[in-house]
A and B are shown apart, each in its own frame.
Chain A
Amino acid sequence: MGAMKTKNLLWALLFAVIVLGGVLVYRSLGKGEGTVAVVSVDGEVLERIDLSKVRTPYDIPVSTPYGNNTVHVEPGAISVTEADCPDHVCIYQGRLTGSGIPIICMPHRLVIEIEGGDIDG
């Protein structure tokens, strides 16, 4: 019984490390440089926008075979402001200002990435 308890504790410890490590690594991402945003659906690039050259904010309507999103472009940032998907996670992801973590709308297979300057990959 004692050995089992130790083993359980080791598993709990391993899981704690995964959780803490995962959160820390995730938080350290998304602060990359780069200003060129790429909007793609199903892997096909729809728009490539240099956010540093944007002066006035504007919206891009994106229609996919799976649903519709509104992409909002402003100086230095890009976000999804409207979506007819059920979960709206892409809207909650907020404004993208640097490379590292893309905005994803899984139901609509829409990805918005900022191409990294010095980031690998």
Chain B
Amino acid sequence: MAKTRKLALMALLTAIALTIFVIEAQIPALVPIPGVKLGLANIITLITMCLLGKKEAGAVLLVRVLMGAMFAGSPSTLLFSAVGGLFAYLTMCLTVGFFGENRLWIVSALAGIAHNAGQLLACVLVVKTPGVFAYAPILAASGVVTGVFTGFAAQYLLKALKKLKL
């Protein structure tokens, strides 16, 4: 893929991810559990990884997390979202080759668990209250549910995008 073409595509994907992130932040919490959210922007990270590569997905994720905190979050939530994002990204990098594009839902579920684990760990370190670990079981469950959902979404989107021959 030509360099300019790739750059344009990455910018487009970042803009889409950021839009999804900002819109999702406006939706009121679905459950009264801190740290639980759908994580729809994860769909873009996944398809960027499959379409362009791991480095490119990392770049799109990094820019989205930083700009997302500017537009929809706050400096104090940036840390949680960055650590969660990093854990999820590393998990995707390690598992996407093994499972392949037809089993992104498994990659995504594992990444969802990793995201919530990273976020919880960052939270416990910041508030220095081990009691916060009480949320670990429900956050693992939520990571799986939202991860499977976004994983299937990414899988179907990827199939459609490949027909477009980007």
Contact = CB atoms under 8 A, between A and B. Distances in A.
Interface in B117-166: 123, 126-132, 134-135, 137-142, 144-145, 148
Contacts of B145: 19
Contacts, number: 106
Contacts of B86: none
Contact of B35 (A20, A23, A106): A106
User: Main secondary structure on chain A at its contact with chain B?
Assistant: mixed
B16 interface: no
B77 A107 contact: yes
A86 B135 CA distance: 20
Main secondary structure of the interface of B (DSSP, over half): helix
Interface residues of A, number: 40
20 contacts: A11-B109, A15-B144, A18-B113, A18-B144, A25-B137, A26-B138, A26-B141, A42-B127, A43-B128, A67-B74, A86-B73, A87-B28, A88-B29, A93-B33, A94-B32, A102-B132, A106-B76, A106-B77, A108-B76, A111-B129
Interface of A: 8, 11, 15, 18-23, 25-26, 29-30, 40, 42-43, 66-67, 85-90, 92-94, 99-102, 104-109, 111, 113, 121
